[in-house]
Every structure is written in structure tokens, then in C-alpha cells.
Amino acid sequence: MANPAALLPQAGPAIQQLVKAVMSGGDVPGTTLGLVHLRASQINGCGYCVVGGALMSQKEGETDERLHAVAAWREAPYFTEAERAALALAEYATRLADRPDAVPDAVWDEAARHYDEKQLAQIVLWLGVTNLFNRLNATTRQPAGATW
């Protein structure tokens, strides 16, 4: 299947502007945003984003141990409390329909203990962008390792 950005070329620059705005919108560590992207992409089964996100994180200095452990972050010793709070938020924000209270107060409050409002906004917006990419790529069956 063709990717939607190729069929609607005006969408590509708009999406890239959104990515730039989110990435420059706060001071959440890039490693944390990479972990959040990877976890949401794993949940959504987006091979394109899992592989691409892991490769991008590696280029930014992320370790193999942490990347391999993201799916089991609760049991792995590699993550800080702040990263764990971001990963929990990522899981709940990605699985909105799994429960009546999409993001429980306890999950939000734990994230708010580690991140200020601007940082939380950056994480939530990054999750929105990630879920957009996941849906585009999974729906159009973009293969892992492909380039747009």
C-alpha cells in the first residue's frame, strides 16, 4: 500500500512542522521521548516505528539493554523513576479504550511528580504524534526498516 504522505504531499510538511514544534516545545530528555515513542509503537504493533525509533535512539546514545527492556520496563532495572512515570503515561495514553478512566489520576499524578506542565504537554503531544505515525504506518503496512 502507498503511504498517505506520498499521496497527499501537502500532509508531509504539516506533520514535520508538528514534530518540530513538539520537539522544541519543552525540555524532556530526548532519551525519554525515544522510550515513550518506542513503547507506544510496540503497543500499536507498528514495526516501522519500533525499528525506526530504536535506531534513532541508538544514534542518540541509547543503550541496547534499555531498548531491549522497554517492553518489560516494570521489571527491568534500567529506568529512572521519571522514565517509569513517562512509560506508564505512554501505555495509558496509547490504550485509551482499555478502561473507562483512560489515564487514571494516579498515573497522571506520578508523571506530574517528575515533569512540570510544559514537559507533560510535550510528552502528551509526542504520544499523539507517535500514535499518528503508528496508525499511518500500520494501516498502510509500511515494512520495518523502510524509508518514507
- pLDDT tens by residue, 89-106: 999 999 999 888 999 999
Residue 4 lies in a domain: no
Q: What pLDDT score does 93 carry?
A: 96
Query: In the structure, how many helices (H) and strands (E) does the chain have?
Result: 8, 0
59 in any annotated domain: yes
Q: Taking the model in full, what pTM does it have?
A: 0.91
The residue with cell 517509569 is 84
Compute φ and ψ for 79, nearest 5 degrees: -115, 145
Cα 118 versus chain centre, distance: 17
Residue 14 lies inside a defined structural domain of this protein: no
CA angle 81, 85, 86 (to 5 degrees): 120
Residue of higher predicted confidence among 145 and 34: 34
* 68-89 per-position pLDDT tens digit: 999 999 999 999 999 999 999 9
Report if residue 84 sits inside a domain: yes
Q: Is 86 contained in some domain?
A: yes
Residue 82, in any domain of the structure: yes
- Cβ-based neighbour number of residue 110 at 10 Å: 18
In a domain, 109, yes or no: yes
pLDDT digits over 112-146, tens only?
A: 999 999 999 999 999 999 999 999 899 888 888 76
Please tell me the predicted confidence (pLDDT) of residue 142.
Answer: 85
% the chain with pLDDT above 70 = 93
Domain CATH number, residue 85? 1.20.1290.10
Alpha-carbon distance 41 to 47, whole Å?
A: 8
Residue 40: its pLDDT value, please? 98
Residue whose cell numbers read 525499528: 51
Domain span including residue 118: 31-139
12 occurs within a structural domain:
no
Question: Quick one: which H or E segment has residue 138?
Answer: helix 117-139
Give me the number of domains the chain comprises.
Answer: 1
Q: What is the residue whose three cell numbers read 498502510?
A: 140
**Residue predicted with more confidence, 26 or 24:** 24
